[in-house]
Amino acid sequence: MIQKVFEYLAKVLVIFASVVTMVEGTGETGEAKKEQAKTEIKSLFEQLAADGKVPTWLSSIVTNDMVLDFLIDKIVAYANDQNWFEKSYEILKGAE
């Protein structure tokens, strides 16, 4: 049981971090990026729940606006503290 919980947590973190990273490069303002990330995350988790890949209870928790706001803010704050987005921009510029 506990192993399943950790597997679900890993999925949640990977999805959130991936979506936040994708949205970061859109050039939108902070609030617009956050809303875009929330919409994308909700859509992904609804589909995962419909496909039986995550339980519906998990989908309903992580798609709650308060939970979404909290997790997105924490991921963005951590990425900013680590200069992760700046490093990503430098790597992408070098690939052009």
**Amino acid in the structure at residue 68:** L
The parent domain of residue 14 ranges over 2-94
pLDDT of 79: 85
Give the separation between CA 78 and CA 36, rounded to whole angstroms.
19
What pTM did the predictor assign? 0.77
Q: How many CA atoms lie within 13 A of 80 on its CB side?
A: 9
Q: How many domains does the chain have?
A: 1
Q: What is the pLDDT of residues 5-58, one digit of tens each?
A: 888 888 888 888 888 888 887 777 788 999 999 999 999 999 999 999 999 999
